[in-house]
Structure 1
Amino acid sequence: MNATVRSQSNLYLYLVCLVAALGGFLFGFDTAVISGTISLVKADFALSPVSEGWFVSCALLGCIIGVSFSGKLSDKYGRRIVLIISAVLFLGSAIGCMFSESFNILIASRLIGGLGIGVASMVSPLYISEFAPSRLRGMMVSLYQLALTIGIVLAYFSNAYLAGHASAAYATEGLTKIFSTEVWRAMLGLGALPAGIFLLSLFLVPESPRWLLLQGKERQAAEILTRIDGEEAAAREIRAFKAQGDDSEGSIKELFKPVYRKALWIGLLLPFLSQVCGINAVIYYGPRILEQAGFTLNNALGGQVTIGLVNVVFTFVAIFTVDKWGRRPLLFAGVGGAVVALVIIGALFALGITTGPWILIFILAFISCFAFSFGPVCWVVIGEIFPNAIRGKAMALATLSLWIGNFLVGQLTPVMLEGLGSSWTFWIFALCCSPALLLTWKLIPETKGRTLEDIENHWKQDFENHQ
């Protein structure tokens, strides 16, 4: 492949993966935008702590439901059509939240958005992992996490802007509720714009070539693989796929066979631990945590924007190193750093050292460690470790584990902050985060540079070696 063709192929690869990564952007935007609306919705609807937790976590319940059916649908009908469904759900949710007439309608709209997030959170990284060549797979899947972090920080910026510019001047335009007295409506409704872009863009991208191969559509798969990485690489990928044979049942039961037991444990534990480490407690309840540290509301929102920016910047560390250094080194460094940062944050609260910048500094240290390890590497690993024939269903199971952890954190964090205080809340997160180090050491193989078929063969060889 000459330089010009290679450049065109890389451009095509990046564009397609960026479109799929928009699912991550909407995931990040929708989960983070809630942080700026909690106090406003709580005041408007006089919410109790339990209702406040339900407002935050109802979307996470929708995520769990969305994930539960997305794997089967994506295996049966294709990755692309399921992504289109997620975009429609995002769009409907944003419009529903903006114009909701009651708290129950708001909750229903949030649940619909949660369905969209759940579907996109599974299918977007799955699509990218199957679409990208092995030499660039880590980087391409990390683009999903980058888009997610950009979605988070833009949600913070839009919240801060809308809160700062809420004005009764819009009353004459009939938009008083949305842009003035109930500005949370504008915050939640803004997601309709990227959702519409995502929906239209999906009609321009092809289906996953590996899904096409599973359906026996070799010619179509070959055309896409050739455009991505040239004829020689495409032929090599197809040969490797065929060499796997068709000895699987295409059922999730395949994953419970002894040969894939380690992959199952990784798929269940790594995503769950990535959530119970407390990352989304900081994203959802950041302003409240910073207020407890002595920040004013405006400063707390500013601190939240800083958190979002650090999350974006340090995700680039993973993008440029995950295919060079590997998955395991990033996990060891990032998870270890996150545990230390969480312990120190808890100690600062316990000792009453809440004035000055120290709380924010170590929250930023925690975020940076998460951003180059747990955040992107979790999606890379769970997109790689499962067999071809059941990757959609298996990844749905792994993503379901992630959302269960996310749901628990979203529901329990306000209760922990109120009942246990900030110090014990962060110490509990440190305790929940630390088992990921043992998981990485004992179970997770290094997968950089390996084709998906090579990784599938690894489990078979590993099982035979321990027989």
Structure 2
Amino acid sequence: MVGHSGSSPGAANYDQAKPDAVRDADIVPMVWLSCGLAALAGLLFGMDVGVISGALPFIVKEFHVSTLMEGWIVSSMMAGAALGALGAGAISQRLGRKKALMYSSLLFFIGALVAVMSTSPNILIIARILLGLAVGVASFTAPLYLSEVAPERIRGTTISFYQLMVTIGILAAFMSNLAFSYIESWRWMFGVLMIPAAMLFIGVLMVPNSPRWLASRDRFDEAREVLTKLRSSKTEIDYEMGEIEESINAKQKSRGFQMFKENPNFRRSVMLGICLQLVQQFTGMNAIMYFAPQIFQMSGFEGTAAQLWSTVATGLVNVLATFIAIGFVDRLGRKPILYAGFAVMAASMAVLATILVIGPTTTFLQYTGMASLLIFVAGFAMSAGPLIWTLCAEIQPLNGRDFGLSCSTVANWVGNFAIGQFFPVMIAAIGGAMTFGILSVLNVVFIIFTLLLIPETKGISLEKIEKNLMSGKPLKDIGT
């Protein structure tokens, strides 16, 4: 249906007080189907994160690469992802969330194929950059799409489900790495990545466009048509269309960077999103994921097979702990879970640092070190892993959502790049004990950051969060 500009049908029925028929409405199956298929982007993200830890030892062995080149092979994906996220805002805004996800799946397939055919470290780096571009677009677009399609009462759950798919992807990559380690085939490890790329492309063909994106393009008829598939009653559709229209009409005409220059309140949400993603990166989780075998070696586990089995255990804990976030994010809220997660991560890193100071000279200390690492992973997976993506998708106003989320996603991958490039150098320069001690202190700092700046957005509509932000409320209060 061809959209039109102006008022949306049903906008006159919008009322500030949310009707019980809206608050208690059923979740229709199409919501779960759309969110589930879009969340497949997380599977790509996770498998690309996980594959390098198992492939790297065999790549080093085949190409005889230096420590510096090893860092480039790991971090080139993050550099590509930062570039992909930088361009994802424009792609998603102009072509829509659906097409952005389709293009990312195609690019991911091509990158995996180039990796399989690589004949030198330089070609492998090019492949990793292509994979990064795809992951950058997907990691930007999927949480954005989920936040705009899901009702607010399950928004945290659906975006956490995206993070669950990331963890499943990491675990799948770890298991694939283990299987192919017995024939020392890093090329097969990369080849497996083509499977989720094809799954995402086919899946996205089945999902509708974001109704909020359609409305932002003055395609109100199409937005309403999509909402009839995603909401259970006319009352719910009318109310949500009214909220969306009020949000669009209340905003200035400027979008993106122009809005960033003109509106100080929008600048606040952009900067908060950037800080949130940097916080996620400097918890140290991706350092654990990328260099898991080396860290287990430091903890006293010798042999490639033993180290890869340990990474599979890490991936399994990562998956299981994510269910904590899925189960409680829309019940307890975002902030209580973040407090708990940062505390767990700080304590577990302190224990690991202490063991490395003493030296993992006994079986007890070795397994205690491994347990602290797994507890750290659980703390991240239940909190900062899914909830940072949730918050970043929630806090940006509609006209600036693509730009704001693009900035925060770029920050994620810049931080990710820094971790991948400098973590092995840092370990070599100051040792594992000092490195993990620093990570422990950072996680304590992040508890204070959560207290002072992060809003509680549980059960609040995106439009209400935007209204609070634009009225100048303190950032920690925009979810009230």
**Shorter-chain TM band:** over 0.9
1:448 aligns with 2:458: yes
* Structure 2 counterpart of 1:233: 236
How far apart are 1:435 and its partner, in Å? Answer: 2.9
* Structure 1 counterpart of 2:265: 259
* Structure 1 counterpart of 2:195: 193
Q: Distance in 2 between matches of 1:239 and 1:53?
A: 51
Mapping for residues 57-456 of structure 1, pairs under 5 Å: 57-164=75-182, 166=183, 183-230=185-232, 231-244=234-247, 245=249, 246-255=251-260, 257-296=263-302, 297-353=304-360, 355-356=362-363, 357-456=367-466
CA offset digits 1:242-288 (Å, max 9, x no partner) = 11214241122424532234322320111111111110111110011
How far apart are 1:427 and its partner, in Å? Answer: 1.4
CA offset digits 1:274-328 (Å, max 9, x no partner) = 1111101111100111011110222211111111011100100000110110011
Q: Distance in 2 between matches of 1:372 and 1:191?
A: 26
Q: Which moved more, 1:262-271 or 1:343-352?
A: 262-271
Q: Secondary structure of 1:346's match?
A: helix
CA offset digits 1:152-186 (Å, max 9, x no partner) = 0010001101112x2xxxxxxxxxxxxxxx60000
* Structure 2 counterpart of 1:174: none
What residue identity is the alignment partner of 2:104?
S
Matched-pair identity in %: 35
Q: Distance in 2 between matches of 1:21 and 1:72?
A: 21
What residue identity is the alignment partner of 1:250?
R
Retained in 1: the 8 A contact 2:397–2:466?
yes
CA offset digits 1:314-344 (Å, max 9, x no partner) = 1000001101100111111111211111111
Q: Distance in 2 between matches of 1:288 and 1:317?
A: 28
How far apart are 1:218 and its partner, in Å? Answer: 1.2
Q: Distance in 1 between matches of 2:129 and 2:136?
A: 10
RMSD, aligned CA: 1.8
Retained in 1: the 8 A contact 2:79–2:417?
yes
What residue identity is the alignment partner of 1:344?
V
Q: Which moved more, 1:213-222 or 1:378-387?
A: 213-222
Retained in 1: the 8 A contact 2:269–2:404?
no
CA offset digits 1:56-114 (Å, max 9, x no partner) = 00111100110111011111111111111100111001111111122221111111001
How far apart are 1:200 and its partner, in Å? Answer: 1.6
| TM-score, structure 1 as length reference | 0.92
Q: Which moved more, 1:70-79 or 1:99-108?
A: 99-108
Q: Distance in 2 between matches of 1:253 and 1:343?
A: 44
What residue identity is the alignment partner of 2:331?
K
Retained in 1: the 8 A contact 2:100–2:137?
yes
Question: Are the structure 2 counterparts of residues 318 and 311 from structure 1 closer, same or farther at C-alpha, using a change threshold of 3 Å?
Answer: same
**Partner residue of 2:66 out of 31, 48, 51:** 48
What residue identity is the alignment partner of 1:160?
L
Q: Distance in 2 between matches of 1:75 and 1:325?
A: 33
Q: Distance in 2 between matches of 1:451 and 1:220?
A: 21
What residue identity is the alignment partner of 2:324?
V
Q: Which runs of 4+ in 1 moved over 6 A?
A: none
Q: Secondary structure of 1:386's match?
A: coil
How far apart are 1:354 and its partner, in Å? Answer: 5.2
Q: Distance in 2 between matches of 1:126 and 1:352?
A: 45
**Partner residue of 2:49 out of 31, 36, 39:** 31
Q: Which moved more, 1:136-145 or 1:12-21?
A: 12-21
Can you give the 5+ residue segments of structure 2 that lack an aligned partner in the other structure? 1-19
Q: Distance in 1 between matches of 2:214 and 2:416?
A: 32
What residue identity is the alignment partner of 2:434?
W
Q: Distance in 1 between matches of 2:361 and 2:471?
A: 53
Retained in 2: the 8 A contact 1:83–1:123?
yes
Retained in 2: the 8 A contact 1:293–1:355?
no
What residue identity is the alignment partner of 2:34?
V
Retained in 2: the 8 A contact 1:74–1:82?
yes
Retained in 2: the 8 A contact 1:226–1:233?
no
Retained in 1: the 8 A contact 2:277–2:411?
yes
Q: Secondary structure of 2:301's match?
A: coil
Q: Distance in 1 between matches of 2:267 and 2:62?
A: 49
| TM-score, structure 2 as length reference | 0.90
Retained in 2: the 8 A contact 1:273–1:405?
no
Q: Give the length in aligned residue pairs.
A: 446
What residue identity is the alignment partner of 1:204?
M
* Structure 1 counterpart of 2:11: none
Q: Secondary structure of 1:146's match?
A: helix
Retained in 1: the 8 A contact 2:270–2:407?
no
Q: Distance in 2 between matches of 1:464 and 1:450?
A: 16
Q: Distance in 1 between matches of 2:443 and 2:65?
A: 31
Can you give the 5+ residue segments of structure 1 that lack an aligned partner in the other structure? 167-181
Retained in 2: the 8 A contact 1:262–1:443?
no
